[in-house]
Structure 1
């Protein structure tokens, strides 16, 4: 292992990497019988345990590893290896994984990108030693080093906003023994499972796999509780997120353990032996953005404890597909693909690609040739018939010879059977092929369309699908009508051979490029979903949640971005790839194309374009002049009439690297969609202080500034920022005009370092705020940074692997992941005290009320009990309700919960902090401004650290079905804890949407009505309780052993009289359609009518008719209570007289609730 890990001291980059000075075995011992061949076969050697010892000697790290081999013919013992640290402290990824102890002695500088040197190797030789898995790939930062302890933030919770509309899926799996159970892996949203054939999906990876990008999901055929997951989607489009290793579950996803292969990059497929869940093979495509040796086919024989690279072609060609013959699992087929992305192109193809076969379980491989293309081989997919294992199909990108090939003899001879262009488009993204397990002539091709052949690939028909762009398919071996399919819109299940498919509107896995908000109430969140459309959703909605009918699309397309008119939210401008730009008027539902120059970009070399408009080209309305619109190419263009006309106001603000201006794609197939447009602007940021100040950032690393509205521009690129970089976001401080922050990345150049810079002097000088040692890990590329608009120096950063926060202007960082699922964070907006998050795989999320973060950033208040300021609470009809089914506001139906996003907590949210060691529950009291108690909540659980309590604005409802809600005004909250008390005032406000038609006086009238009805209902309930107690006592007295005829007669008369009154007050046989309602039901009815509609809160003054009806009910109630008093005075008193005469105990008579004035 150590010998293979230490590369030969040669090659252009070895001067920058650690290398082995020597390696020697100090002692050995034989485990058991040996074989010369096995003893010398280092490819089969697998390390079970390593116990390292490390010392430093004359600049050389001496690492001693005591190891035990599990191969039966290899020895265990003690090995000493010396690895010299280079002058710049750089460490190759492979050595970083295998020898982590060396890093501790070689941390001389911030690690930079290291070229992975690799000598040419034959397909049968593995360049790297087996990799063990000592710990997860993404260890969280040590909480002990955080500025703010996790307990101080523990009560903060993100809320999922949606959309509940599926995102891209490139891997699916099914379970033969569980016909309704399926899995999919989203390209940024983790692993999901259904047990209802796609009716509902549940995430099973958030708690154990810290990576959102999933490339392969495999179920062990012999034990369906055993799952293997390979991270890193193999459909490496421009926004692909890299993988970080392999995970395994032995309990169907309840728990996960990390299995290593951190540097394997994208994982295309995992195959598990049909009888041994510990024997598995893995197709590692490798790093998508650069060469690395950890690619090819890997094998594990011990359930992932160790891996061996059994097929390696080169450090730029990896495995994309892998087949295992179910009838003879020692026969394997691997598709090898040379693939690499750069910001300016997509490389697909090399002569070393092709189909490889092993007939000895991976010990040796041969490249298949008979009849297959012999030139450049690009992306390819392969499939083997289960019913006829000698028949295989391959779909191949080649020059020459692209097409679908078939073999009838296990791969020895191949025939081209189809070369229709419609089956072969965009091969790097598609080229996946599958065979029906029961009929070798039925073949499926997943591409832009989903195609099926019933004649062995000679002809194909297209199957209608819920979405386009298809990637993976699993077919039930027992019933080929049952399938699960993955496409750009999510995963779908069919149980009828593809005639119908399950919904994709139950998968919250959308990839959102950006986040925009407006100033409506409630505010809407806008963005563009990859592989779908632009979209906006309200941050809350009337009723029990946010569902499909609340969504809106605004033109443009999947790329966006979206910008909203600052004073008229009905006007929305959205972008689309190819330079398209549309203005949408929500009132008229009319679109207008307003692109600055209507030039079709698709397919054209970049050098031929007048404007280099990127896939996510920036567009934004000016916050100072709402008619001004900015748009970016290599120039900044401005429109002063909302897109009717345009003028360029800048020179070329990019690096203008003309060497990258060719036709994207190759060397076989071009692919020009706008993703690879280079030397183009990705960011235009307008200063909130001065309309003349604009900042720009380009995808080749240039930052420019104008302070005179575009008349002159200055290059203010941070000098220390490596070039080229992608400047993804610029945020101008709302607190200081010259302060700005930028987030850049280089991960698409295989450099995963984070780059956040800050300036306080308009870019004259910059400070790097992410040195890899201040809390934000050195391998987390940064996509966005935002400063809090109320608290200077409070920064939020979105990275490829999560969310971070800095409380000191970037000097230190710590995770702010909380319950946010693992997914790349693409954009952030702080709005109205909320943090809105856009993710590349889990849609939008909102952290409602960031008050605690702002006050922590300002300096933690002293004291054992700290109550944070309570922000204003709004009376709205938005409710926070959970359950499997909830009512849909517009259509009234009950719909599944998983199709709805939750509303924010109702009412007032109270945050308070208790000191370390605090014990015992607390009491929360809500008070009116004059000190009258509204509600008291006893024994509220509250531990040390941050706690959250929510008051929904309801007054006590008593026995009523609905409660009176707080009238707008000032209230107070008191926290009473064993260690002390704390209090704060807060305001309840009216829903701003109602201010033109509803007044506070109206709400006060509603409140008074409901309290009045509640009190009368309470009096009724009190009277009924007393009545039933007296009647029970009377019946007991009349039926007792000492009762005489007089007592029995009096008891019967009292009981009958009480029952008659009871039947006026309540319906003892139950309400409903069978029995008439009584006063109690009528009181509840008018309360509901005055306050809600189908369970949803209403804000309105009670109508005159409601008041009239309540008065009538009060009259009826008072009449019944008067009769009850009379019965107590007469019939019950008569019974008591008889009881006294007989020397028996009187019946206790309760007081009847007093009269209430009727008006």
Structure 2
């Protein structure tokens, strides 16, 4: 084998690298920015973007749908809540506060069970059992043995949704699971499952067929081998729902599920639908059930399910059985039965008669837990969150600490700070500011529409007007000043067919004309006068399949037609920002249509999309901001059982399409958004989270910065603030502040060891104070921190050597030093834009006015990165609040005045420190002499008294929090705090007082010098005669060194 000299090899390698680099640069110059081959050498994953984080703003004013509630019998202050699409939450204080404990896992929750013998063991079944059109999917069953701190998936991954979990009261290793199975298609993994080894293995002990799943399971608390199961045949399709069939039934086993009998004595004949079962804890032979049939009714058994007696056929008992099949029995009174539904029904006579106890709670109830130690305490989960009663359901309080709201869409306005808008499942339409003085509180949210909220946006020409849409195409215009609502949806003419509006009817603003917006049924409509009139600009753009338009027959045994099954409708609309005549439309039955002449002619380009199953729902179309020929589309097949991710791109107006999704994207896709600045930066929201690419789709990664694995239904990018607003269906609104650094990630940046990433100018915003004592039971959304972000990228984690950031002003004065983040990927360091708080004299209480440092002036600062032996620099620009009424000159004068007081406090602190040190030293020396009559001791004490008298003029020294004692420190500190907390010019009185206080500090210093010059030399002479060390006054250098050490120790 021939050997190549090392030097030759190195030269060849360098030449080859140079050629590749030049080729890459040339390619980028010759074409629009695309991912290079080089970028694929760098792994892109969630850690790449790790320091970019989202903040949750809520709301919890109205919450979201709750699927399950469980408590700890022995510690009923511990409550677990499972949201239908918002994860698992835990309270340890009876519901006052909650914290999320399941954010890393599937957020759709079906059931929660606590092992009451070992209450730190908690089981969670994922996949919501209330199978409406918008329900999510699960990924199996999970178990925690430490109260929810950690979790392990225990199997049943393909069951899709779990309706109930029961832990055997006498054997913690035995657990029963009611697995409903797939909603949209046949599958085998459904029925009753049982484990006898704590979840390591599972046995399916009851199965009917591929269309029938288990909707409930209950165990006799005394005879634990007696098990009851409800089996339900059901199927949802995009255009219809069917409940009931020959597979449904109520089953009973007396041997732990080895053998089952289908109970029928006393139950309705013929096909039945969904059932709910509840065993009376205080008398287990009493069992209650609701059974959906031709006439849904309540049944009771007094012989452990052998025979049944109908007790009530009240209309409310039979309301929407697919959505409200749940029962609970009072743990101490077997005749007291609770039946949640549209409203809570309560029976005190064993199910014969019922009274409405729902009160002023949200309708649509799905979960209930009764405290067995005090059955007057009840928790109830609804479509609007959790309520608590402490008087047997007579009155209710709303739990305000669960931000699990379910948004469909989000938008923004151009106010400062800007507001966000969004529509919520079963909770109307809302708006809120993105900044509020005390955080974004519940009172900051304002209701601007009702029903099931979907699209909501402010009128671009009149921010006082808000448009919102609720289910089935009901479009409203709301006046924020007057509170008036006007219905403005288009109505059909006598010669037109019935308009078919989707449950989630699309409404779209024109990016080219602020007076134009669209709404879609099977036709596309355009308005240019705030909805007062409409122009139909298309034919029927759907497949118009009559077999998918029989919504009045939907429901199965119980008719249910709420517009949720409306089909063959337009679902997404996008006008090209580059050409107002180019409009894209996507339909729920799989059509992609385009017009290039503003609606005069339309082309169906669906057939050009290869690899996409026919009739797959078009969930979004996004016309490119950079090229009229380019658009993106996401498709969602989950409503036919297809859970794949479909994301496509066209660059030729739909003639050809390229799939751009990779296996890194998890979940079926709801939305795609193209960045406004960087065409290679794309965001996709799926049922399992937010994903992004920085190279046009070649590599994708999940965004995990404080955003759980929640369904992302919509994304909006603010053009002024560069923020990304995220509408989650289960956890409210999230905001990623300033995505500018993401726009700067290029293949070259990814290859570099270190790179500074540009950020937007940082706004100096003095905190506004609003007094509010809301308690602990209210969720408060996060504000944008009042900091400047310094952002940079590290290809690898920094391990060895120093790494810090120094901030310098325009005069090259060092302002502060910040520790640098060392993680791989993007790092974001926060600079508070303030100096450290001033040093103040030590007193008996804190001087409250001086606890904050002054804000630094507006301008450009230099951030110097010291990374081992390498140094890098970047600029940080600070700007004033654009909403401030104060001029730049007024703000500058305020800052100069604050700095005078800042320096004054620090001068006073040094004077006081000298007084205190010499005083304390003199007294200590006097005490050491031991003889109070000693002449030197008397001199020392007299000297100390003079200094103490001076000190008491400088600082309040009386003990107590409210002494009313005002001294020089307190006067300066109070004035400093007043001026430091206001962004404009101080009053003339304040300015004059600054000068007076400065004179008083001068006098204090003169008094000290007078005392020391008069007495200190004489005292030291006397000490010398006793061969004792002299008393030394504190020098400035010693003081600064001591204060510096104090700050280091505090850090």
Measure how far apart 1:626 and its partner are.
2.1
Measure how far apart 1:186 and its partner are.
0.7
In the alignment, the residues of structure 2 paired with residue 145 and residue 221 of structure 1 have an alpha-carbon distance, to the nearest angstrom, of 52
Match of 1:1123 in 2: 1007
In the alignment, the residues of structure 1 paired with residue 872 and residue 694 of structure 2 have an alpha-carbon distance, to the nearest angstrom, of 25
Match of 2:679 in 1: 792
Aligned equivalent of 2:639, options 743, 748, 760: 748
Aligned equivalent of 2:704, options 785, 807, 817: 817
In the alignment, the residues of structure 1 paired with residue 648 and residue 429 of structure 2 have an alpha-carbon distance, to the nearest angstrom, of 30
In the alignment, the residues of structure 2 paired with residue 1075 and residue 1116 of structure 1 have an alpha-carbon distance, to the nearest angstrom, of 20
Higher mean displacement: 1139-1148 or 1006-1015: 1139-1148
Q: In 2 relative to 1, CA 861–178 (structure 1 residues): closer, same or farther, beyond 3 Å?
A: closer
Q: In 2 relative to 1, CA 608–290 (structure 1 residues): closer, same or farther, beyond 3 Å?
A: farther
In the alignment, the residues of structure 2 paired with residue 1151 and residue 402 of structure 1 have an alpha-carbon distance, to the nearest angstrom, of 90
Which deviations, in whole Å up to 9, do the C-alpha atoms of 1:95-123 show, x marking residues without a partner? xxxxxxxxxxxxxxxxxxxxxxxxxxxxx
Measure how far apart 1:360 and its partner are.
0.8
1:489, 1:504 within 8 Å by CA — same for their partners in 2? no
1:203 aligns with 2:137: no
What SS does the aligned partner of 1:837 have? strand
Aligned equivalent of 2:347, options 447, 450, 453: 453
In the alignment, the residues of structure 2 paired with residue 968 and residue 852 of structure 1 have an alpha-carbon distance, to the nearest angstrom, of 22
2:45, 2:701 within 8 Å by CA — same for their partners in 1? no
Map 1:141-540 → 2, pairs under 5 A = 147-164=43-60, 165-207=62-104, 210-399=105-294, 401-463=295-357, 464-540=359-435
Aligned equivalent of 2:670, options 783, 808, 815: 783
In the alignment, the residues of structure 1 paired with residue 788 and residue 96 of structure 2 have an alpha-carbon distance, to the nearest angstrom, of 36
> Which sections of structure 1, spanning at least 5 residues, go unmatched?
1-142, 601-606, 880-888, 1093-1097, 1154-1159
In the alignment, the residues of structure 2 paired with residue 331 and residue 1039 of structure 1 have an alpha-carbon distance, to the nearest angstrom, of 85
Measure how far apart 1:616 and its partner are.
0.9
Aligned equivalent of 2:1016, options 1132, 1137, 1144: 1132
1:571 aligns with 2:457: no
Aligned equivalent of 1:976, options 850, 863, 866: 866
In the alignment, the residues of structure 1 paired with residue 955 and residue 639 of structure 2 have an alpha-carbon distance, to the nearest angstrom, of 73
Match of 1:763 in 2: 654
Match of 1:619 in 2: 507
Match of 2:967 in 1: 1078
Which deviations, in whole Å up to 9, do the C-alpha atoms of 1:989-1029 show, x marking residues without a partner? 111111xx211111111111111101111011111111111
Match of 2:989 in 1: 1105
Measure how far apart 1:291 and its partner are.
1.3
In the alignment, the residues of structure 1 paired with residue 560 and residue 881 of structure 2 have an alpha-carbon distance, to the nearest angstrom, of 51
1:524, 1:538 within 8 Å by CA — same for their partners in 2? yes
1:241, 1:800 within 8 Å by CA — same for their partners in 2? yes
Measure how far apart 1:144 and its partner are.
11
Match of 1:855 in 2: 744
1:485, 1:492 within 8 Å by CA — same for their partners in 2? yes
In the alignment, the residues of structure 1 paired with residue 1000 and residue 270 of structure 2 have an alpha-carbon distance, to the nearest angstrom, of 96
In the alignment, the residues of structure 2 paired with residue 309 and residue 145 of structure 1 have an alpha-carbon distance, to the nearest angstrom, of 46
Aligned equivalent of 2:939, options 1045, 1050, 1061: 1050
1:175, 1:182 within 8 Å by CA — same for their partners in 2? yes
In the alignment, the residues of structure 2 paired with residue 599 and residue 241 of structure 1 have an alpha-carbon distance, to the nearest angstrom, of 38
Measure how far apart 1:146 and its partner are.
7.2
In the alignment, the residues of structure 1 paired with residue 802 and residue 827 of structure 2 have an alpha-carbon distance, to the nearest angstrom, of 11
Q: In 2 relative to 1, CA 900–650 (structure 1 residues): closer, same or farther, beyond 3 Å?
A: same
Q: Which has the higher contact order (CA 8 A, sep 6+)?
A: 2
Aligned equivalent of 1:629, options 507, 512, 517: 517
In the alignment, the residues of structure 2 paired with residue 689 and residue 1003 of structure 1 have an alpha-carbon distance, to the nearest angstrom, of 41
Which deviations, in whole Å up to 9, do the C-alpha atoms of 1:695-723 show, x marking residues without a partner? 11111111111122111111122432222
- Residue correspondences, number: 980
1:932 aligns with 2:813: yes
Match of 1:805 in 2: 692
Measure how far apart 1:940 and its partner are.
4.5
What SS does the aligned partner of 1:243 have? coil
In the alignment, the residues of structure 2 paired with residue 858 and residue 998 of structure 1 have an alpha-carbon distance, to the nearest angstrom, of 44
RMSD: 2.3
Match of 2:598 in 1: 709
In the alignment, the residues of structure 2 paired with residue 737 and residue 578 of structure 1 have an alpha-carbon distance, to the nearest angstrom, of 31
> Which sections of structure 2, spanning at least 5 residues, go unmatched?
1-38, 840-849, 1038-1051
2:407, 2:454 within 8 Å by CA — same for their partners in 1? no
Q: In 2 relative to 1, CA 876–955 (structure 1 residues): closer, same or farther, beyond 3 Å?
A: same
Measure how far apart 1:221 and its partner are.
2.4
Aligned equivalent of 1:1001, options 876, 889, 893: 889
What SS does the aligned partner of 1:560 have? strand
What SS does the aligned partner of 1:561 have? strand
Measure how far apart 1:162 and its partner are.
1.2
Aligned equivalent of 1:728, options 599, 619, 633: 619
What SS does the aligned partner of 1:1117 have? helix
In the alignment, the residues of structure 2 paired with residue 609 and residue 654 of structure 1 have an alpha-carbon distance, to the nearest angstrom, of 14
What SS does the aligned partner of 2:292 have? strand
In the alignment, the residues of structure 2 paired with residue 216 and residue 1071 of structure 1 have an alpha-carbon distance, to the nearest angstrom, of 54
Map 1:1021-1040 → 2, pairs under 5 A = 1021-1040=909-928
1:683 aligns with 2:579: no
Measure how far apart 1:943 and its partner are.
4.2
What SS does the aligned partner of 2:863 have? strand
In the alignment, the residues of structure 2 paired with residue 689 and residue 375 of structure 1 have an alpha-carbon distance, to the nearest angstrom, of 61
Q: In 2 relative to 1, CA 351–1152 (structure 1 residues): closer, same or farther, beyond 3 Å?
A: closer
In the alignment, the residues of structure 1 paired with residue 743 and residue 402 of structure 2 have an alpha-carbon distance, to the nearest angstrom, of 33
1:1050, 1:1131 within 8 Å by CA — same for their partners in 2? no
What SS does the aligned partner of 1:1129 have? helix
Aligned equivalent of 1:912, options 792, 795, 815: 792
Measure how far apart 1:156 and its partner are.
1.9
In the alignment, the residues of structure 1 paired with residue 906 and residue 462 of structure 2 have an alpha-carbon distance, to the nearest angstrom, of 49
Match of 1:137 in 2: none
Which deviations, in whole Å up to 9, do the C-alpha atoms of 1:711-763 show, x marking residues without a partner? 11111224322221111111111121211101110101111111111001111
2:821, 2:828 within 8 Å by CA — same for their partners in 1? no
Measure how far apart 1:257 and its partner are.
1.1
Map 1:1059-1098 → 2, pairs under 5 A = 1059-1070=948-959, 1072-1092=961-981, 1098=982
In the alignment, the residues of structure 2 paired with residue 238 and residue 524 of structure 1 have an alpha-carbon distance, to the nearest angstrom, of 30
Match of 1:553 in 2: 447
Which deviations, in whole Å up to 9, do the C-alpha atoms of 1:206-232 show, x marking residues without a partner? 24xx21111010111221111111111
Map 1:850-889 → 2, pairs under 5 A = 850-857=739-746, 859-860=748-749, 863-877=752-766
Tell me the TM-score normalized by structure 2.
0.90
Tell me the TM-score normalized by structure 1.
0.82
In the alignment, the residues of structure 1 paired with residue 776 and residue 1021 of structure 2 have an alpha-carbon distance, to the nearest angstrom, of 62
In the alignment, the residues of structure 1 paired with residue 705 and residue 961 of structure 2 have an alpha-carbon distance, to the nearest angstrom, of 47
Measure how far apart 1:984 and its partner are.
1.0
In the alignment, the residues of structure 2 paired with residue 873 and residue 219 of structure 1 have an alpha-carbon distance, to the nearest angstrom, of 48
Which deviations, in whole Å up to 9, do the C-alpha atoms of 1:898-931 show, x marking residues without a partner? 5111112222101123353632442221121232
